[in-house]
């Protein structure tokens, strides 16, 4: 079954024509979630409410009044988005048992379109990390670890799959794994330093980071207010455009969303790329970039060139400082954002009663893991009066330099930048955990972070399988608010590379034809 | 795969020559572990130590503890890493607060549009009385370093 056939042409069409019922679709996804439980992609599965939503959707289809393409489509949401009535934990002890009293705007929009919310996906605690390994519910396993493609290529050290599995990347690893293993058709992630694109690359799915200000952050538990965006994970670029269409737009509840009108769009089938100018930023040839990915990146550049596009080398000179800059700004904003967790109004509360301060301290001591605490302390250090100018303000100045690099490049006539998304394919878990979270994040965010600094839209498109049989993706970065152009180019590229479908036993067992329906549905 | 024309400069590109210790077969993944020149361990400059007073001050401000020497080491490494910022010349550059700085901040009318959700808001609190959140007594500062049970005491 080709992955490129998306919602519009396949599942939604099937639902509309009555070839499959929403409840059936929902049930199948729920069953698949159960049989892929070992992936640990989901923290909460909202079985009852999902079935209820599916039933309501079914009624609408029977009446011939579906709400739109997303009506009846099972989706998953990263567990740092508030979902009314459903536990929202951020994979932290601090929020275990916290039942959101409201829906994040993006969640509400999905529900208003009739989407079926299957559950909340696993992540690094408070979205801090690049492996989805540091949450209190344990690490997420990359579905490709269990794929035929990986098993064929790997020579296991021991014969047990237990020690061989690879990470999903992070921090939206659960969402990426959920989409990659077919348990849902789309998932929401968040992206602050690459948290949607990184796991998308490792799990072989499309991961879109929209322009900052396009999609509402209301209800997304904040990490870095000036960089966070909700991320979209799907199996093909067309689906990402569908999701974007239903989520983008001004939200009065989020003053950082722009007020411009947003028109949802369908992606054209680009055939002529001769008017395109693709920029290849040389600084993205970063130390540690695997030769495999380097070769793939070159091949992609040539692909565009041979198709008639103008492909030029460009320079973003401050790239190598983006991680340092991010480190300071992120920890500073985290120090502020995490201050709200004191046990008084929600979340974990310590039994300590001596004083307010000691209760807060004990609550936070008990509720946060090392990574979170470390960032809070670092952030507070950089914000001390004696350090404020030297570190925080300095980082803000460097941020401007980084953002200006992009402005200059786009002003010189380049339309889209093409870069690798990750330095290599997914690492085995046992190897990944040998370095601490900060070191890993520093290494892994290097190619994705600058887009968050500058607020630009960026997308990971699964490109090919590595020697080890694992997905490798490439990243396209576009101009602010030019998602249509970005996605159009990404879709063209996706069509050229024809990324293979994951061969998972569990998926085969549960699939009874919906995924293979593309023969009867035409590609729209 | 024929020689790639444009791709050639990519392969010849910058970045320190790195021994290709990766092999496909047996999971030997990142040959160099975490030691990368550009920002892995921030091997620039000396590892500056932070005084116990400042550490204590941070614990007070953050209301979060270092827990152990690893926590303190983590801070030292973070500072060392951040020090790389000083290599960049930012003369005449204005700090950037937001990428949307060229746009006007949205302000809506000062009208009440929602509220009356006391019950929902109280639901998640562990200790409450009627419509109040209950807190332990305030105005009592955290005990001084000598009197607190903190790792820093031994420093």
Is residue A443 predicted with pLDDT exceeding 90? Answer: no
Q: How confident is the model at residue A47 (pLDDT cuts 50, 70, 90)?
A: very high
Question: A283 contacts in B (CB within 8 Å)?
Answer: 14
Average pLDDT, integer, range B58-84: 91
Closest-CA residue of chain A to B97: A396
Strand partners, A44: A120
* Per-residue pLDDT reduced to its tens digit, A428-439: 999 999 988 778
* Per-residue pLDDT reduced to its tens digit, A85-124: 999 999 999 999 999 999 999 999 999 999 999 999 999 9
pLDDT at A512 (0 to 100) = 54
Q: Do B85 and A345 touch (CB under 8 A)?
A: no
Using CB atoms, pick whichever of B67, B93, B107 lies closest to residue A401: B93
pLDDT at A522 (0 to 100) = 23
Q: Give pTM, 2 decimals.
A: 0.90
| Conformation bin of residue A491: beta by default, left when phi > 0, alpha when psi is -120 to 50 | alpha
Q: Does A464 touch chain B (CB under 8 A)?
A: no
Using CB atoms, pick whichever of B24, B70, B140 lies closest to residue A355: B140
Using CB atoms, pick whichever of B58, B59, B106 lies closest to residue A255: B106
Is residue B46 predicted with pLDDT exceeding 80? Answer: no
Buried b (16+ CB within 10 A) or exposed e, A23-61: bbbbbbbbebbeebeebbbbbbbbeebbbebbebbbeeb
Is residue B38 predicted with pLDDT exceeding 80? Answer: no
Is residue A379 predicted with pLDDT exceeding 60? Answer: yes
Closest CA–CA distance from residue B120 to any residue of chain A (Å): 6
pLDDT at A5 (0 to 100) = 55
pLDDT at B22 (0 to 100) = 36
pLDDT at A82 (0 to 100) = 98
Most B CBs within 10 Å, among A142, A367, A378, A379, to test the B interface: A378
- Judge whether A42 and A85 are in contact, CB under 8 Å: no
Q: Do B99 and A331 touch (CB under 8 A)?
A: no
- Judge whether A199 and A168 are in contact, CB under 8 Å: yes
Q: Quick check: is A171 catalytic?
A: yes
Helix and strand numbers, DSSP H then E, in chain A: 19, 11
Pairing of strands A310-314, A206-209: unpaired
Q: How confident is the model at residue B33 (pLDDT cuts 50, 70, 90)?
A: very low
* Per-residue pLDDT reduced to its tens digit, A299-320: 999 999 999 999 999 999 999 9
Q: Does B68 touch chain A (CB under 8 A)?
A: no
pLDDT at B109 (0 to 100) = 86
Q: Does A324 touch chain B (CB under 8 A)?
A: yes
Closest CA to A175 of A80, A101, A92: A80
Please identify which of the residues A195, A216, A424, A441 carries the catalytic annotation: A195
Q: Do A321 and B87 touch (CB under 8 A)?
A: yes
- Burial level of B128, CB count in 10 A (0-12/13-18/19+)? middle
Map out the domains of chain A with their CATH numbers. Answer: 10-155+162-271+458-505 (3.90.1300.10)
* Per-residue pLDDT reduced to its tens digit, B88-127: 999 999 999 999 999 988 778 899 988 899 999 999 999 9
**pLDDT averaged over every residue in chain A:** 92
Give, as one character, the DSSP assignment of residue A83: B
Q: Quick check: is A195 catalytic?
A: yes
Tell me the two tokens of residue A145.
């670890």
Is residue B30 predicted with pLDDT exceeding 50? Answer: no
Share of chain A above pLDDT 90, in %: 87
- Judge whether A201 and A179 are in contact, CB under 8 Å: no
Is residue B58 predicted with pLDDT exceeding 50? Answer: yes
Q: Does B87 touch chain A (CB under 8 A)?
A: yes
Is residue B49 predicted with pLDDT exceeding 90? Answer: no
Is residue A127 predicted with pLDDT exceeding 70? Answer: yes
Closest CA–CA distance from residue A446 to any residue of chain B (Å): 9
Q: Does B76 touch chain A (CB under 8 A)?
A: no
Using CB atoms, pick whichever of B36, B96, B137 lies closest to residue A399: B96
**pLDDT averaged over every residue in chain B:** 74
Buried b (16+ CB within 10 A) or exposed e, A361-373: bbbbeebbbbbbb
Q: How confident is the model at residue A517 (pLDDT cuts 50, 70, 90)?
A: very low
More confident residue, B9 or A186: A186
pLDDT at A432 (0 to 100) = 92
Q: How confident is the model at residue A507 (pLDDT cuts 50, 70, 90)?
A: confident
Q: Does A315 touch chain B (CB under 8 A)?
A: no
* Per-residue pLDDT reduced to its tens digit, A344-357: 999 999 999 999 99
Using CB atoms, pick whichever of B66, B81, B88 lies closest to residue A327: B81
Most B CBs within 10 Å, among A134, A297, A328, A380, to test the B interface: A380
């Amino acid at each position: 079954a080709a992955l490129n056939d998306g919602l519009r042409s396949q599942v939604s069409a099937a639902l509309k024509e009555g070839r499959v019922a929403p409840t059936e679709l929902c049930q199948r996804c729920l069953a698949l979630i159960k049989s892929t439980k070992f992936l640990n992609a989901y923290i909460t599965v909202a079985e009852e409410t999902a079935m209820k939503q599916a039933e309501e959707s079914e009624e609408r289809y029977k009446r011939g009044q579906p709400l739109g393409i997303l009506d009846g489509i099972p989706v998953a949401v990263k567990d740092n988005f508030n979902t009314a009535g459903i536990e929202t934990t951020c994979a932290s002890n601090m929020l275990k048992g916290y039942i959101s009293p409201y829906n994040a705007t993006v969640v509400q929009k999905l529900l208003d379109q009739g989407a079926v919310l299957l559950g909340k996906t696993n992540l690094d605690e408070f979205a801090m990390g690049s492996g989805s390994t540091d949450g209190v519910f344990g690490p997420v396993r990359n579905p490709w670890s269990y794929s035929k493609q990986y098993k064929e290529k790997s020579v296991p050290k021991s014969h047990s799959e237990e020690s061989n599995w690879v990470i999903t990347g992070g921090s939206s690893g659960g969402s990426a794994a959920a989409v990659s293993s077919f348990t849902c058709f789309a998932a929401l992630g968040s992206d602050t330093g690459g948290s949607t694109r990184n796991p998308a690359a490792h799990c072989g799915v499309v991961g879109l980071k929209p322009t900052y200000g396009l999609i509402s952050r209301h209800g997304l538990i904040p990490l870095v207010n000036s960089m966070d965006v909700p991320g979209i994970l799907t199996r093909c670029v067309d689906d990402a455009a569908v999701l974007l269409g239903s989520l983008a737009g001004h939200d009065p509840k989020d003053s950082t969303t722009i007020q411009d009108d947003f028109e949802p769009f369908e992606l054209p089938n680009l055939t002529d790329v001769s008017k395109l100018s693709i920029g290849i930023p040389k600084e993205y040839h970063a130390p540690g970039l695997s030769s495999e990915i380097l070769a793939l990146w070159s091949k992609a550049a040539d692909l565009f060139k041979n198709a008639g596009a103008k492909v030029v080398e460009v320079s973003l000179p401050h790239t190598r400082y983006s991680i340092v800059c991010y480190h300071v700004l992120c920890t500073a904003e985290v120090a502020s954002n995490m201050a709200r967790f004191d046990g008084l109004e929600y979340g974990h509360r310590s039994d300590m009663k001596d004083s307010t301060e000691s209760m807060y301290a004990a609550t936070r001591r008990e509720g946060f893991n090392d990574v979170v605490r470390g960032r809070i302390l670092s952030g507070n250090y950089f914000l001390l009066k004696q350090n404020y100018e030297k570190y925080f303000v300095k980082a803000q100045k460097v941020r401007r330099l980084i953002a200006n690099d992009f402005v200059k490049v786009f002003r010189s006539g380049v339309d889209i930048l093409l870069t690798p998304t990750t330095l290599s394919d997914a690492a085995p878990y046992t190897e990944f955990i040998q370095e601490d979270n900060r070191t890993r994040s520093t290494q892994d965010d290097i190619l994705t972070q600058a887009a968050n600094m500058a607020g630009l839209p960026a997308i990971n498109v699964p490109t090919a399988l590595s020697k080890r049989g694992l997905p490798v993706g490439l990243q396209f970065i576009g101009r602010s608010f030019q998602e249509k152009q970005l996605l159009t180019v990404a879709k063209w590229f996706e069509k050229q590379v024809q990324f293979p479908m994951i061969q998972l036993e569990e998926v085969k067992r549960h699939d009874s034809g919906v995924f293979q329906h593309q023969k009867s549905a035409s590609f729209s | 795969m024929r020689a790639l024309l444009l791709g050639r400069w990519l392969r010849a590109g910058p970045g320190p020559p790195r021994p290709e210790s990766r092999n496909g077969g047996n999971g030997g993944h990142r040959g160099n572990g975490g030691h990368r020149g550009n920002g892995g361990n921030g091997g620039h400059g000396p590892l500056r130590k932070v005084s116990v007073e400042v550490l204590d001050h941070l614990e007070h401000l953050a209301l979060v503890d270092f827990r152990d020497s690893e926590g303190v080491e983590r801070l030292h490494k973070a500072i060392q890493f951040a020090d790389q910022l000083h290599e960049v010349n930012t003369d005449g550059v204005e700090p950037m607060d937001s990428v949307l700085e060229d746009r006007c901040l949205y302000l809506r009318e000062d009208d009440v549009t929602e509220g009356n959700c006391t019950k929902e808001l109280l639901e998640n609190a562990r200790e409450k009385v009627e419509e109040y959140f209950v807190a332990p007594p305030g105005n009592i500062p955290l005990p001084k370093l000598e009197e607190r049970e903190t790792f820093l005491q031994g420093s």
